[in-house]
Amino acid sequence: GNQSSVVIQYNMLGGPQLKARRDRRATMSIAKKRFAQNNECLKTRRGRLLIVLLALIMFMASLWIINTYQILKTIHADRSNNDDLEMSLMSHMFAYFSVKSEDIVPTTALSVVILTYRKYDALANLLTSVIAQETSLNFEIIIADNGCLNETKQVISNSFSSISTTSIPNHKYLPLCDNPGYAKGNNAAVKLATSSSRMILFLNDDIVLDDSYFLQNMVQLRSMKHSAAAVGCKIANADKGQLIEAGSMVFNDGNGGGFGCCSRDIYAPLFFLRQASRLHIWGMLTC
């Protein structure tokens, strides 16, 4: 009897406290469950983000590997075929290789635009070097004449009549006797390019192509650099004793200048293949 009364009295006195304690425990249990759910949700989001980042990294890495493989394959093919052109790639180190690109670059339509102004003797030398190019390219020559001298017309006629009809490239003559200027003359000549031409090569009339694979190599270089809008060549004086420029520099104010101008070491690694800091124009070769 005494024992049971003591138990009843305890339950009566401790009932509200026990209920409050149970409520607190239930609340804590619900909070822990919510925290666990939120934690799992956060882990899931992080995991998904990590998966997306890993997939992006793997995609970029695969593109880099494919591009590197193609470049190495090209280099290996070039080294196995007698070297004709020396270039250097600057990517933390210089990697020298040679290019004979007839087996690399497929037949590609190319329009060679030559603007001339009363320099018929120089034009004769240039046309001779262009027509003598050893290439599998199907190219055409467009001559824009800002001077319209009879001597210029005679030089053009003699240059193309002196070669066999089987090897003569297609050529077009555009007389611009009012001398519209350098830019307008070139633009007018470009309009005469065939619709199939994928590339335009601009040549001044006072240069000579020193390398018989010049056209082939220029097209091959442009084909290698998919992100480049244009490529340029290294220009040296007649005896190759001084560099005129190895690409152009364009400044913030719009002015420009020749990179490496007047250097005596025209074969320095600095004056070979490189990417411009602003315009992303690639330059190489020796005219």
Q: Tell if the pTM clears 0.75, that is, is over it.
A: no
* CB atoms near residue 234 (< 10 Å): 21
Q: At what angle do helices 150-161 and 120-131 cross, to 10 degrees?
A: 20
Supply the pLDDT for residue 165: 54
3-state SS string for 124-158: HHHHHHHHCCCCCCEEEEEEEECCCCHHHHHHHHH
Averages of pLDDT over runs of 10 residues in the chain (287 residues) are: 48 58 67 68 77 86 78 54 35 31 52 96 95 89 96 94 70 95 95 90 93 90 80 85 81 76 79 57 36
Q: How many residues does the chain have?
A: 287
For residue 78 the two structure tokens come to: 């070039």
